[in-house]
Structure 1
């Protein structure tokens, strides 16, 4: 796709999926605002983009509406009004239900759900005032439909984000703003913010039908498709990119009882 006339804003852009998405748009010629809570990290990430003229690192906390507004104002002054928003900022924590604090719950819900809502709201208001069409892509998760230990707040936030995607799509469609989500399966990233145990990573890899963890670039490709001309009649969808994980698992053996094991299917056992 040709993005040379596009201004893109990506949250959570200092690392992982957010960085891969920002890099992909820059390679396509878009001007990209890279937003992240960590000032030094996002500045260093922007320096890794091949064309420095195409990127603008912005420090902002998406949990705070005033910082979202400031970030969008700054991007508008630097590049012009963004027409593509990718809400990739998110936390991937592990807090058992019986140990979870109010602070931990609020931190995840504010980052993963409140942040995308108010960033999308501010983004959409600007486009509507200028009578400009645009695209929003939310990064949700397979955890929206499948819980795991330690992720009550995470799963709830991603389930909420999937429904928020549909709600935004319905209300913003009359203004020519399409809203979709990409739902990754397990994507292997190296992040100081969202660290994972080796035991967890090895266990989840065994459940993926295509036999490997996803890469951030796998998600970036899907995001570009959902904001390109080939998806012009798609809105309100949650697009699974998960190596087949939603279809089932290859980590279980066949359920039948083989003859050498005996049992009900063994004629000698009758």
Structure 2
């Protein structure tokens, strides 16, 4: 895997805040150029961009679930960075509880369609767009997918989220096999609970103690801890980890 002298060109989807923001900072601090993607949170994304160390980073917005818009996002990122060497598929939705017993059919259908469109299809589409650029450039590359512990242990209150994250893991393993001949490694991480703005109310409320108790460490992860694993999986040293799904859940759920 060869990189330009200016560092890797990294597209991170859903980088306006949370894990995406932490990953953007980790890559930028490593000397890489980052395209900060956002769907709707432009102000947050601009804050992420402004706080990145180094220069040459770019901002790209757009709804990746629309194939035409996804193509525009990939094009603007590649133009702004001079190419794409690394893709981090972080953009995702996790809508409110939608357990089967408690959700009307019409709402159930709408929630599933949204999760599939954003979490799975958008990931597949931007992976194709970035992956083809990596193949054409002939320098190898990396794709790192953000999955979830919920893909393995189940998400009874958020089944569409758990199912689409399981599909993202499977997609990554399929791409790992098909892209290896081009020097492109593909891997996924499966985080457990970690601190983000989205879950701050849950962690500070009555539910917080029970959530922290899921791990024998008695806490949840920080976004920086997850971002550190993403950064390593995108490194040249991680080629032999292609196809893996790394659990990052503080021993809160152990797969066999």
TM-score by length of 1: 0.85
Instruction: Tell whether 2:164 aligns with 1:157.
Output: yes
Query: What are the ranges of 5 or more consecutive residues in structure 2 without an aligned counterpart?
Result: none
Aligned twin of 2:62: 60
Change (3 A) 1:183 1:230: same
Residue 246 of structure 2 aligns to a residue whose secondary structure is strand
CA distance in 1, matches of 2:174, 2:208: 33
Aligned match of 1:140: 147
Gaps in structure 1 of 5+ consecutive residues: 249-270
Report the Cα distance in structure 2 between the residues aligned to 1:204 and 1:238, rounded to whole angstroms. Answer: 23
Indicate conservation of the 8 Å contact 2:66/2:122, yes or no: yes
User: Separation in 1 of the partners of 2:109 and 2:73?
Assistant: 28
Are 1:217 and 2:186 an aligned pair?
no
Q: In structure 1, what is the equivalent of residue 174 of structure 2?
A: 167
**Which of 221, 237, 252 lines up with 1:245 in the alignment?**
252
Q: Deviations over 1:9-40 (max 9, x none)?
A: 00010011111000100111111001110222
> For the residues of structure 1 that align with 2:152 and 2:59, how far apart are their CA atoms?
33
Instruction: Provide the rounded CA distance (Å) in 2 between the counterparts of 1:4 and 1:129.
Output: 20
SS at match of 1:14: coil
For 2:37, which of 17, 20, 35 is the aligned residue? Answer: 35
Residue 206 of structure 1, CA deviation: 0.8
Greater Cα offset, 120-129 or 216-225: 120-129
1:44 corresponds, among 41, 47, 65, to 47
Any idea what the Cα deviations from partners look like across 1:84-120, whole Å, max 9, x if unmatched?
0000111223222241432211111111111111110
Q: Matches of 1:206 and 1:155 in 2, distance apart?
A: 21
SS of residue paired to 2:253: helix
Conserved 8 A contact 1:29-1:54: no
Write the distance in 2 (CA, Å) between the matches of 1:195 and 1:87. Answer: 23
- Tell me the residue number matched to 1:81: 83
Name the CA distance, whole Å, in 1 between partners of 2:91 and 2:77.
17
| 2:71 equivalent in structure 1 | 69
Greater Rg over alpha carbons, structure: 1
Answer yes or no: is the 8 Å Cα contact 2:14–2:90 preserved in 1: yes
TM-score normalised to the size of structure 2? Answer: 0.89
